[in-house]
Structure 1
Amino acid sequence: MDNSPVLYIFSGLPGVGKSTLATTLAKHIGATYLRVDTIEQGLRDFYLTDIYDEGYQLAFRLAKDNLKIGLSVIGDSCNSITESRTAWQQIATDLGIQFVNIEVICSDESEHQVRVETRKTSIPNLTLPTWKQVQEREYQVWENEVLKVDTANQTIQQSVSDLFQLLKQTY
């Protein structure tokens, strides 16, 4: 890859390891890290309790500002529907820069359940979803090209290695 900014668009259900991979990539390449959970909880903390897509809308604006000044951006969100995926991609398209869709999954359902039920959050006041809420969440199949990282039955380092290998092979 050259030094042009890139928009890395992470997606995946809660508890699959997406934030771990996204933050590791952000540190490795020195990119701006935007986590929609953090933005949405910030809105809730300032008494906006009925959040629809405001967190995503703010993340899109912040991503665009950072990409315009030449910084790569990591977008970390469930990104579970085509509408949000298209909006992330449109930012890069409008700026004429490359984007990479990265879907993180955990194909072992029992492992995924344990992760959801035992995980902690670094975001103050954030209420994590229950396993039932994760199972009931709408998550549309990707229609575009996406790099897929399956974190099931792997250490974090193995999953990070898989992600870096996919990025190296593809870009």
Structure 2
Amino acid sequence: MLVVFSGLPGTGKSSLARLLAPHLHGAYIRIDSVEAAILETTAQTPGVTGYAAAYAIAADNVGLGLNVVADCVNPLAVTRQAWMDVADRAGVPLVNIEVLCSDQDEHRRRVTGRADEAALYRGHVSPAWAPPTWESVQASRQAFEPWAERRLVIDTAGQTVPEAFATLLADLHLSYGVPA
């Protein structure tokens, strides 16, 4: 199956995706990592290139019979359709998961406290790459197109990562038969 985590930075989607990938014995594809590598090697802003590379990597892996967990903002109908196309071509189910944090103060604290993200990538990506700012998250929020596709929605506000993961597993089990 192809599982696509979508949502604004700082909502907890990467934390959940990183837990789900090994649970499913699946490959993990993070758009931030793909885009950071493109930035490092080309010194150009990746734009759609990062997503296009991730679609190809996902297609290769689901084509091998592996589960794939993709971690991205995925704000546009066109990007959501592209993930659907990957799943359709491979003949695998697509599971869309939208992760949000409905408590704006908590969300802001998460985004502004992401020094761990920079440390995670230090030495692996271009010095030009940096975690998103609260201002850039707000700009992304404005550009986020409404969903038309079926999806699970996980609100991480007021939950620890283990609590949100337990909620996610329960929802995946009920909706898709994924082992809890």
TM-score of the superposition, structure 1-length normalised? 0.94
How many Å apart are 1:133 and its aligned residue? 1.0
Measure the CA separation in 2 of the matches of 1:159 and 1:129. 22
Q: 1:163 maps to what in 2?
A: 168
Measure the CA separation in 2 of the matches of 1:18 and 1:96. 25
SS in 2 for 1:46: helix
Q: 2:136 aligns with which of 127, 133, 147?
A: 133
Measure the CA separation in 2 of the matches of 1:104 and 1:17. 7
- Mark the runs of 5 or more structure 1 residues left unpaired by the alignment: 1-5
Q: Which one has a larger percent helix, Structure 1 or Structure 2?
A: 2
2:75 is the counterpart of 1:80 = yes
How many Å apart are 1:52 and its aligned residue? 1.3
The runs of 4+ residues in structure 1 deviating greater than 3 Å are none
Q: 1:123 maps to what in 2?
A: 121
Measure the CA separation in 2 of the matches of 1:24 and 1:123. 19
User: Could you tell me which amino acid in structure 1 is paired with residue 21 of structure 2?
Assistant: A
Q: 1:52 maps to what in 2?
A: 47
How many Å apart are 1:50 and its aligned residue? 2.9
How many Å apart are 1:48 and its aligned residue? 3.6
User: Could you tell me which amino acid in structure 1 is paired with residue 74 of structure 2?
Assistant: N
Measure the CA separation in 2 of the matches of 1:19 and 1:123. 14
2:25 is the counterpart of 1:30 = yes
Measure the CA separation in 1 of the matches of 2:9 and 2:3. 18
Deviations 1:136-161 (A, max 9, x none): 11111211111000000011111000
2:62 is the counterpart of 1:67 = yes
Measure the CA separation in 1 of the matches of 2:60 and 2:107. 35
Of residues 133-142 and 101-110 in structure 1, the stretch that sits farther from structure 2 once superposed is 133-142
Q: 1:151 maps to what in 2?
A: 156
- Mark the runs of 5 or more structure 2 residues left unpaired by the alignment: none
How many Å apart are 1:51 and its aligned residue? 1.9
SS in 1 for 2:42: coil
Measure the CA separation in 1 of the matches of 2:148 and 2:70. 19
Measure the CA separation in 1 of the matches of 2:84 and 2:135. 30
State the identity %: 38
SS in 2 for 1:27: helix
TM-score of the superposition, structure 2-length normalised? 0.90
2:104 is the counterpart of 1:99 = no
